[in-house]
Each structure stands twice: as structure tokens, then as C-alpha cells.
């Protein structure tokens, strides 16, 4: 499990660019998937390791205060959301990704607001993103 990531702020601090590959272990197992849209590059291995490659750009926590725990958790979550949006992973993975988000927040030091943050993320991920995807 990651405890810090190497990234730089871009676009006035609104987004981040990963400076070194990042591996999230104990992620979502049983799937093989790759995603590359230019800004984000990641690969999921059957053992549950998610590799996010250097150069990946993500927007941290949408509508959130970007604490270190949020930055770490949002990178993994954004990868899974991108892969489900692109249909390289089934939508059922979103639920698991949301639960991982909650776990990552706590394991990286955000035990106070993780309930609220996860609720917001899950509401967007499970309701609005799915609705938007069907439009």
C-alpha cells in the first residue's frame, strides 16, 4: 500500500502529474485491464496490483480539499473510474473502487473526514457518473 506519491502540481495547482510509477497493491483482483488516453496511463494485473505510470495527470478529489490522503486515494480511484468509463473494466468494479477509496483515505491518515468524502465520491460514482454514462 502506498504511503506517498511523487507528483508535481500543474495548472495552478488544480491537477497533478505523476513523476514516478506508482503501484497500489491489494487493489481489485481478478481482472486484467490497461488504460491510456494520453493523460492517464494505468494497468491492472490479476493479482490486484494497479500500476499508474509516470506522466499520468489527474484532478485530485473533485469538489474536495486536497489533503495528502485525498491525493493518494484519488489517483487510484480516478484510474478505476477511467477504466470503467472506457469499458475495459465492468461497471461493477466502481463499487469496489469506491470502497478502496474509503480504505485508502484511512490508511493514509484521513480518519476524520473519510466518511463524508467517501459519501460524496460514492454519490458521484454510483449515481451521477452512471447516469451521465447512459446519456
pLDDT, tens only, 80-111: 989 988 999 998 888 888 888 878 877 655 55
d(CA 41, CA 60): 15
Query: Is the pTM of the predicted complex or chain greater than 0.85?
Result: no
1 in a domain, yes or no? no
Whether the CA torsion 70, 104, 19, 51 is positive or negative: it is negative
Structural domains counted in the chain: 1
Edge-to-edge strand ranges of the sheet holding 41-44: 22-24, 50-52, 41-44, 33-36
2 in a domain, yes or no? no
d(CA 47, CA 70): 24
* Closest among 69, 80, 105 to 27, alpha carbons compared: 80
d(CA 29, CA 8): 29
Supply the pLDDT for residue 62. Answer: 64
Domain span including residue 110: 7-134
55 in a domain, yes or no? yes
45 in a domain, yes or no? yes
73 in a domain, yes or no? yes
Amino acid at each position: 500500500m502506498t504511503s506517498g506519491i511523487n507528483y508535481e502540481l500543474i495548472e495552478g495547482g488544480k491537477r497533478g502529474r505523476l513523476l514516478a510509477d506508482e503501484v497500489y497493491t491489494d487493489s481489485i483482483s481478478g481482472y486484467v485491464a490497461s488504460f491510456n488516453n494520453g493523460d492517464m496511463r494505468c494497468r491492472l494485473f490479476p493479482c490486484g496490483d494497479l500500476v499508474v505510470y509516470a506522466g499520468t495527470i489527474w484532478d485530485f478529489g473533485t469538489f474536495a480539499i486536497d489533503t495528502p490522503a485525498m491525493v493518494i486515494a484519488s489517483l487510484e480511484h480516478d484510474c478505476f473510474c477511467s477504466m470503467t468509463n472506457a469499458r475495459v473494466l465492468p461497471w461493477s468494479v466502481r463499487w469496489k473502487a469506491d470502497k478502496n477509496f474509503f480504505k485508502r483515505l484511512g490508511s493514509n491518515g484521513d480518519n476524520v473526514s473519510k466518511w463524508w468524502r467517501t459519501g460524496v465520491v460514492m454519490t458521484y460514482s454510483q449515481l451521477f457518473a452512471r447516469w451521465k454514462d447512459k446519456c
